[in-house]
Amino acid sequence: MTEAHERTTAAPPAPEGVCPVTGARAKQVEGPTSFPLSSPVISTVAYASDPPGYSLRAQQNHGTVVKLPILPHNPTVQLSAPDAIRRVLQGNADNYARGAYYEAFELFMGQGLLTLDDGDWRGHRKVVNPAFTPNAIAARGAQSDEAVADLLDRWAEHARAGRPFDLFAESMKLTCRVMGLALVGKDLSQDGGEFAQAVSVALEAIFKNVGSLDKAIPSFVPTPYRRRVARARRTLERVVAEAAQNVDLGVGGEVATLIRESDLPEDALWADLVTLFLAGVETTALSLSWTLYEVARDAGVRERLEEETDRVLRGRMPTAQDLSELGYAGMVVDEGLRMHPPVWQFTREAIGDDVLAGHHIPAGTPLLVSVYGAHYNPEQWEDPERFDPERFRPGASPAQDRSAYLPFGGGRRQCIGKRMGLALLQQTVAAVSGRFRLSLTRDAAREGAFITLFPKGGIQVKAEERHR
């Protein structure tokens, strides 16, 4: 993804509860006032049982700046107002730190690209940035082409056998291969799914580490969950150790080499590689899975995709050079990311007092930036529950405010892999649509959420070859 170049400057101090921009008296942030919803324990249980649903209900019932009585950081303010999000990520970004929630991320990510605040983060970002430039991504294009071609060949075998398969598991094989080659110079899909499982478990563990009941159990008790987490950590440690050894032997992957040969602290290799694994592998696989899922449910979108791919590709595999001609496939990807943002929320903490969307935010307030809420905000999106790629037609204004769309975050901390991920998604969606027609084996996938939005039980599909 491209990095925002503008530097933000903290707003001059204003009297408490007064907007530093307009001088208007700010409102206090409100939330549920009636029991049981005002109870932190009951609200935390409700949140844990359905995090995205809880988020949307809070927005619908109490607005786009709402106080959530959830543990362990009660109260937390949820933001889905575009102007509030823009001020946090761009207009007054220096006033917002990673915050207390990010302590849970250090369980796997250490002190690296995601967990560091801006002053220290810039050095890490500068080191790895050369691997994510357009030229660097283009130089690895053959790797993506081969990986997508092999994916289609596997699906052809499933199609000939009439055998259903899990769309998410297959997508993970693709991204473990492509991202593994880019980061550490190794296809990480060739270990029977061990690496893919480690990534998923790590993301689950980070989410649960915020306030897990598992902490109430003595640390020496090896619960099944703790054994899974320990196994995931050993897998990631092995991959990072092998990456370091390969760099020292002169055969390492591009990103691992950049970090290993930099002046960053020694633990940066672990912190930054694991961060990029967790931020890039499952998120891209989920985006592909959910997008193809929506295409399989919508005959009109599917037919438009098939017409475009037949016209542009004429039966061949798409490459990076074709993406500019596959505009509808890009629109489909954008809409898939709106409906199913892989990272559905992220956190910040106010360093000093501020006013967001007319609401007073005291210093020290933990914030949840609800990407999911912003993407389903009916004030910003017409009929937000409908899958409609036409929202993203060039020249259109998909939302009333562009800060209502942030599948890769925003501001200077926007995801570094945005460009790489979008290219792989667009290429794969076009390749699949050109060769196969997917059908669901059950009507609807169930959405679950930890750090990412994942399909509970996977997404089972059958593939039918379009041209025989």
Q: What is the CATH number of the domain that holds 166?
A: 1.10.630.10
- Measured in whole angstroms, how far is the alpha carbon of residue 440 from the centre of its chain? 24
Domain-located, residue 91: yes
Instruction: Tell whether 307 and 286 lie within a shared domain.
Output: yes
Domain-located, residue 102: no
- The reported pLDDT for the residue numbered 2 is 39
| pLDDT band at residue 443 under the 50/70/90 scheme | confident
Does residue 101 carry a pLDDT above 50? Answer: yes
Instruction: Tell whether 466 and 352 lie within a shared domain.
Output: no
Query: What is the length of the chain?
Result: 468
Going by their DSSP bridges, the two strands 446-449 and 453-456 should be labelled as antiparallel
- The reported pLDDT for the residue numbered 223 is 87
Going by their DSSP bridges, the two strands 460-465 and 76-79 should be labelled as unpaired
pTM (two decimals): 0.91
- The reported pLDDT for the residue numbered 104 is 83
Domain-located, residue 103: no
Domain-located, residue 113: no
- CA–CA dist 200, 172 (Å, integer): 10
Q: What is the CATH number of the domain that holds 58?
A: 3.30.43.20
How would you class 308 by CB atoms within 10 Å of its CB: exposed for 0-12, middle for 13-18, buried for 19 or more? buried
83 Cβ neighbours under 8 A, 6+ residues apart: 356, 357, 401, 403
The residue from 406, 422, 448 where one domain ends is: 406
| pLDDT band at residue 1 under the 50/70/90 scheme | very low
Q: Which residues of 183-213 are buried (b: 16+ CB within 10 A; e: fewer)?
A: bbbbbbbebeebbbbbbbbbbbbbbbbbbee
- The reported pLDDT for the residue numbered 6 is 39
Instruction: Tell whether 299 and 446 lie within a shared domain.
Output: yes
Instruction: Tell whether 301 and 183 lie within a shared domain.
Output: yes
Number of domains in the chain: 2
Does residue 199 carry a pLDDT above 80? Answer: yes
| pLDDT band at residue 35 under the 50/70/90 scheme | low
Structural domain span for residue 228: 118-340+412-468
- The reported pLDDT for the residue numbered 72 is 87
| pLDDT band at residue 467 under the 50/70/90 scheme | confident
Q: How confident is the model over 157-185, as pLDDT tens digits?
A: 999 999 999 999 999 999 999 999 999 99
Alpha helices in 314-356 (DSSP H): 327-339
199 Cβ neighbours under 8 A, 6+ residues apart: 176, 232, 236, 277, 278, 281, 282
Instruction: Tell whether 28 and 154 lie within a shared domain.
Output: no
Instruction: Tell whether 198 and 256 lie within a shared domain.
Output: yes
Does residue 5 carry a pLDDT above 50? Answer: no
